[in-house]
Amino acid sequence: MTSPAFRRTAAVALLVVACAVRAQEAKLDAKSKELIDKADAALAKAKSISLVQKQRVFVVKDRVELTNERGPETAILAARPSRFRVQQQGETAEYTVSPGTEWVRYIKEANAYQRKDVSKYDASVLYRAPQPLRLLRSRRGLVSLWLGGHSLRSLLPGQSIWYDGIKRLHGTLAHRIAAEAEGITYHLYLSTTESALPLFFVGTGVRAIGRGAAQVRVELAFEQWKLNPTLPEGAFAFTAPKGARQVSELKGMGDVTEADRAAWRLTDDPNVWGR
């Protein structure tokens, strides 16, 4: 379950990886290109994918860890060309499912759902490459990247991307690829296996908190990867739970969290949180 403290911290953390990053044509060193190409190729060959996405937020001030919070855990299942199920657990449990012709979002706390007809749109229009903030704020960010056929390099902004060696994060050894943009350091961790699948995406920077500055770090972990998994019957079908009502707009009913609202507000002014 996500606490108010987590939502408050996540708002700052999401800002760290967002701050007005502009899309640029990045220069990759040879090793980074090799690894990203491997991962892209493995993902491109897959007809379906499943994984679990986890979020974690850290705040360190004057060498003291103020926050070590876990965000929502999200189960992801997707199949080409445009089917997916993204199911979030926690106090604001919700899921979004698409059989390809529509998107249906259900929010448990409201016991309500919304349908959106997308049948007239091509997958290239529906699933665009997510910017770093979009990936971290949206539960469907990785789905958009995969169904849209985008490269993992789109997650690393700035003018250069470089290989940073094999590093350990939370006990896992992985290739680390780094990038910097507007004071933010980004790290993409790729598996040491032949497929080089993404294991972590991390953004770190310094932001004003209270009367001082703190290092804020947000992590996404991608676990339990399966390429071409067996798809359960009805995986992308929606059946309304008992008593659920259909509404035209889910806004204000769990669709946007307090963390999302704060992140949008803070993006335009990095210092507003410290006021």
CATH value at residue 151: 2.50.20.10
Is residue 258 a contact partner of residue 265, using CB atoms and an 8 Å limit? no
Whole-structure pTM value: 0.82
Range of the domain at 225: 4-274
Look at the block and give the residue holding tokens 């790729």.
Answer: 190
Domain count, the chain: 1
Q: What is the pLDDT along the chain (275 residues), one digit of tens a residue?
A: 455 555 555 555 555 545 434 444 568 899 999 999 999 999 999 999 999 998 887 778 888 877 777 777 889 999 999 999 999 876 557 789 999 999 999 988 888 999 999 999 887 788 888 877 667 666 778 999 999 999 999 999 888 899 999 999 999 999 999 998 877 889 999 999 999 999 999 888 877 777 778 777 888 899 999 999 999 899 999 999 899 999 988 765 554 444 443 333 333 334 433 33
Supply the angle between the helices 258-267 and 4-16 in degrees, to the nearest 10. Answer: 30
State the burial class of residue 164 (Cβ atoms within 10 Å of its Cβ: 0-12, 13-18, 19+): middle
